[in-house]
Amino acid sequence: MPSETRTIFFEQDELIDAANAYRDAAERPLSRGKLTEIRAEPAAFDRIVLRYITDAGNAEVALTYAQMTELLIRRCKELAIPLPRLGRKHIIPADDGMGLVVRLSDKSGVAFEREMARLEGLARLGAPMAPA
């Protein structure tokens, strides 16, 4: 089945801006120090480390890959970067940043919505819902 994959790359400074915006929205209790670096550990550890400099010294906050994906999706919305609602989204570590990967399958987009509308119409009529 055909699919499309799109990757939106965030460099380190963009990741820091995204994390600060996320923190300022009070969505997560992230440190109030100066965020200096965001690094992904291998996916097997499911951990993204945010390193801060605070008045009390250095601090680290850990996020899961799912939380970091949520953070980057939110940042895309803030920056008006369109993301397909039905696309599967996940992150991948890259050299000095991170990629938000969006994958669309043949069940995504207009074709999927047309099929759902057709099935809903058949359901209202009480007709069998066989594929077209």
pLDDT tens-digit map of 40-76: 988 778 899 999 998 888 988 889 999 999 999 999 9
Q: Give exposure, 68-79, as e/b (b: 16+ Cβ within 10 Å).
A: bbbbbbebbeee
**Does 92 fall in a domain?**
yes
Quick one: average pLDDT of 89-102?
A: 91
**Does 119 fall in a domain?**
no
**Does 94 fall in a domain?**
yes
**Does 117 fall in a domain?**
no
**Does 60 fall in a domain?**
yes
Domain that holds residue 11: 7-104
**C-alpha Rg value of the chain to the nearest Å:** 19
More confident residue, 117 or 98: 98
User: Which range has the top average pLDDT, 3-7, 35-39, 119-123?
Assistant: 35-39
For residue 24, what are the contacts with CB-CB under 8 A and spacing of at least 6? none
**Does 109 fall in a domain?**
no
The lowest-confidence range among 21-25, 31-35, 78-82, 127-131 is: 127-131
More confident residue, 122 or 32: 32
Q: Quote the pTM value.
A: 0.73
Domain count, the chain: 1
More confident residue, 105 or 80: 80
**Does 118 fall in a domain?**
no
Instruction: Identify residue 126 by its one-letter amino acid code.
Output: G
**Does 2 fall in a domain?**
no
Distances (CA, A) of 69 to 13, 55, 116, 130: 17, 29, 27, 36
